[in-house]
Amino acid sequence: MPSLHADIERVLFPEDLILEGIDRVARAIVERFDGRDFTVVSILKGSCIFSADLIRRIPVPLELAFVSASSYRDKTTSGELEISFFPTGEIEGRNLLLVDDILDTGQTMSRLKEEFLRRGANEVATCVFLDKPSRRAVELDADFKVLEVEDLFVVGYGLDFNGRYRNLPYVGVLRPELYGAAEEELGRDADEPETSEAR
């Protein structure tokens, strides 16, 4: 039987370290909202695992919503964002905590934040599982972040490579020949393995 673990060259963040970081962020979130109602908006698909662990560590009332967005990156666009699912009726006048798996160029987060404010959210705070500050293309810093990662393409804990590896309970780096094989097959940069699907 093929094992997912065998494809991982190196574990960057083991599960216990991840959960410790989430505990810290959960406490900071409770402090920030300070008894006010809020809605956690999980950006699909990448943040589903993180959001599920995060909200179970926030012991105050909250609501949960989802948004689905995909970033398209090619040589001509700097990052078009396609929103394929947007929550209706749960936004206006609400305080939101927008949650994503990783803050890379920052396009996804900044465009979505703008969109939620445009649609009448009262306040939009941002929370990311991983922050990759070296790749930032827009001016945006997340209000809450669990871990910082260097300029590496990582998988696991919700983050995928060509749709796979989201179910790994830790964050790791794939064996280089696996990125290479997919790169050849898809004719893309190994750094940008997927351009069309929800990442």
Which one of 154, 168, 173, 174 is in contact with ligand 5GP (CB under 6 A)?
154
Binding mask 3-42 for ligand 5GP (x = CB under 6 A): ----------------------------------------
Catalytic residue numbers read 104
Query: What secondary structure letter does DSSP report for 196?
Result: S
Helix-then-strand count for the chain, H and E: 4, 8
Binding mask 107-146 for ligand 5GP (x = CB under 6 A): xxx----------------------x--------------
Residue 78 half-sphere exposure, CB side, CA atoms within 13 Å?
Answer: 8
Tokens for 83, please give them. 């929103």
Tokens for 89, please give them. 């009726």
Cα 10 from chain centroid? 21
Report the alpha-carbon distance of residue 54 to residue 36 in Å, rounded: 18
Beta carbon of residue 148, minimum distance to ligand 5GP (angstroms, whole number): 12
Binding mask 70-109 for ligand 5GP (x = CB under 6 A): -x----------------------------xxxxxxxxxx
Beta-bridge partners for 172: 11, 155
Contact 128, 155 (CB under 8 A): no
Instruction: Assess 46 for contact with Mg ion (CB under 5 A).
Output: yes
Binding region for ligand 5GP (CB under 6 A): 46, 71, 100-109, 132, 153-155, 159-161, 199
| Residues near Mg ion (CB under 5 A) | 46, 101, 199
